[in-house]
A and B are shown apart, each in its own frame.
Chain A
Amino acid sequence: MTSLIKRGVSLYSFQNETFQGKMTLEDCIRTSAELGAKGIEVIGEQTFWGWPEYGVADADVDNWHRLIAKYDCVPVSHDFMLDYKRYKGRPMPFDEQVASVKKDVDFGARLGMKYIRALVSIAPEVLVAAAPYAEEKGIKILIEVHAPLHFDHPWIIRHAEAFEKSGSDALGFLPDMGMFVFAFPPVWTEKFLRLGVPKNIADYIVKAYEDRVLSEYVILDVQQMGGTGPAIAMAETLRHNAAFEPKRMLDYMPRIHNIHGKFYQMNEDYVEPSIPYDQIVKVLQQGGYQGYICSEYEGNRWIEDAEEPDSVEQVRRQQVMLARLLGESEDPTIKTSPTASAMAEAAE
């Protein structure tokens, strides 16, 4: 049986290529569509120059809608940032933060999105105050539950309580699967080895992670093993990452509307060695989730010092994995060169 869970891509995944102009927006959308990942998520200010400081040209928004229609895709989420540290030495006042979120609600609506993503550091009061406006515009504001935070963390519980108290269904959650790092990602280990971490210390950290040892103990042990600089940094990643429990999402299913399919590496056998997607998909199916899982490739920053990331191949492999886990009968494939539009523009 085919699952009700849908596949999508956050264009964040292609950042290494789009940064360098190797892929255009059309390349990103076409490639996702060919993979059957019809849900498109963007970080507004990555994809659209000008947002939010000087605005986005109508021509750029028209182009977005043209491409979404051309490739039969669905706009899913505009991920906004809300830079409350915009002013040096003083935080952005509350009312201005709310007004800023409303502007992102408008931008999300202009792009035809159902959701806008709020970063996890934004205060619940700000989102609650913006909720009535989001309701009017048919947009839900989803706070991204992202490691080191998780569904049992008091900060997230405060959000959940505020959302319930508000009575608004325009407020919800967007869990990032990077909360469920079950094994120390091999691309992290390799990066730290390149930075000079001694092999015995790296092996110790990987094993300690597997044994779920408290981060502070691991850091002290590494210090006592003679670890310095990058070895301490490797141990400190345990402060920000952990194998939290996917089942914790079940309590919040009615407010979970989008998923970041975070991954650090997809191997040739279509396995993410650090994040248990088989378990995650089971939990989401158990919870009756019917939204998108949007690929979010974040291995780029861990390998770029050694090799040029191949984001498209990484996303392809994750989409094959997801399609199989969701019970689809065919593996997704890419038919057109992922850089076709960029090449055509360059030739003009």
Chain B
Amino acid sequence: MMDNKMIVERSLQSVDGGFSFLGRLPYYRGLGLSMIEDIQVTVDGEVQPRESVRFSVRGKTYTLDEMETVYDDRWNFGEKATIIVLNGGLSAGTHTITFAVRNRVSYLPFVPTTKDTKELALAA
């Protein structure tokens, strides 16, 4: 659900050592960060290493490994998190971004992965 709303349009930006965009959790509620099992970002067909991804909400930034033991923070319902990828940076122009999130949801008899792909433009 909300799959096609995961990546926030027009949110691609350059950051020190990489790029960022805004992402939302595809779910009808929020989730504690320890239950976000993986966030995978693919740029123009190239999967970015897990170690290069950072997740940032309300001024706090985490690696994906750190998030696994974060029990006092969450990705709220509809909250736009900043997803940072430290890949050395992207060229100006349009890029195809795929954003996939894998959650551990207590009541589900499976582990869902949901993804969204959008064309995002990076200003020169």
Contacts and interface: CB of A to CB of B under 8 A. Distances in A.
B24 interface: yes
A54 B30 contact: no
Interface in B63-119: 68-69, 71-74, 76-79, 104-107
Contacts of B5: 19-20
A19 B74 contact: no
A84 B34 CA distance: 12
Interface string A20-48: 11000000000000000000000101110
Contact of B29 (A46, A84, A120): A46
A18 B78 contact: yes
Nearest to A43: B29
B123 interface: no
B29 A20 contact: no
A53 B73 contact: yes
Main secondary structure of the interface of B (DSSP, over half): loop
A12 interface: yes
A37 to B, nearest CB: 19
B4 A304 contact: yes
A126 to B, nearest CB: 12
Nearest to A84: B106
Interface of A: 12, 15-16, 18-21, 43, 45-47, 49-50, 52-54, 81-88, 119-121, 300-301, 304-305
A53 B69 CA distance: 12
Contacts of A82: 106
B35 interface: yes
Given A46-B77, A49-B30, A53-B71, A81 B2 contact: no
A46 B2 CA distance: 14
A239 to B, nearest CB: 10
Contact of A300 (B1, B76, B77, B105): B1
